[in-house]
Amino acid sequence: GQNIDQPTEMTATEGAIVQINCTYQTSGFNGLFWYQQHAGEAPTFLSYNVLDGLEEKGRFSSFLSRSKGYSYLLLKELQMKDSASYLCAVRALYGGATNKLIFGTGTLLAVQP
């Protein structure tokens, strides 16, 4: 089956660093994405990993270990606007060239002053 787990909620302080973990068990793994979603808005793309290791993109970094079925999103120098839901999504192949995203439960991050 397909299973993707994240912590439900996290709280952090402005200016600090926070790590949001994601563990997954899926078939047909073809990459892992992180999205940010503010309440009532569409998800926006943050980062992508398909090989093991760290991908850095400004204040955001994402790590993947395929053997462990584990990823994390690291947010540095937290700002109040980073308060949002963070979605881990695994891309799975679904026959031929069709692929689909399977989303984790999402982590609601609250950044406090």
Partner 1 sequence: DTEVTQTPKHLVMGMTNKKSLKCEQHMGHRAMYWYKQKAKKPPELMFVYSYEKLSINESVPSRFSPECPNSSLLNLHLHALQPEDSALYLCASLPRSGGARETQYFGPGTRLLVL
**18 vs 89 by CB, closer to partner 1:** 89
93 lies in the binding site for partner 1 (CB under 8 A)? no
25 lies in the binding site for partner 1 (CB under 8 A)? no
1 lies in the binding site for partner 1 (CB under 8 A)? no
How many H-runs (helices) and E-runs (strands) does the chain carry?
A: 0, 11
Q: Which residues, 94 to 113, sit near partner 1 by CB under 8 A?
A: 94-98, 100-106, 108
List the one residue from 16, 50, 54, 80 that touches partner 1 (CB under 8 A). 50
- Residue 60, burial from CB neighbour count under 10 angstroms (0-12, 13-18, 19+): middle
The window from 13-21, 56-64, 70-78, 89-97 that contacts partner 1 (CB under 8 A) reads: 89-97
In DSSP notation, 49-97 reads ESSSEEEEETTEEEEEETTTTEEEEEE-S--GGG-EEEEEEEEEE-STT
List the one residue from 21, 26, 48, 83 that touches partner 1 (CB under 8 A). 48
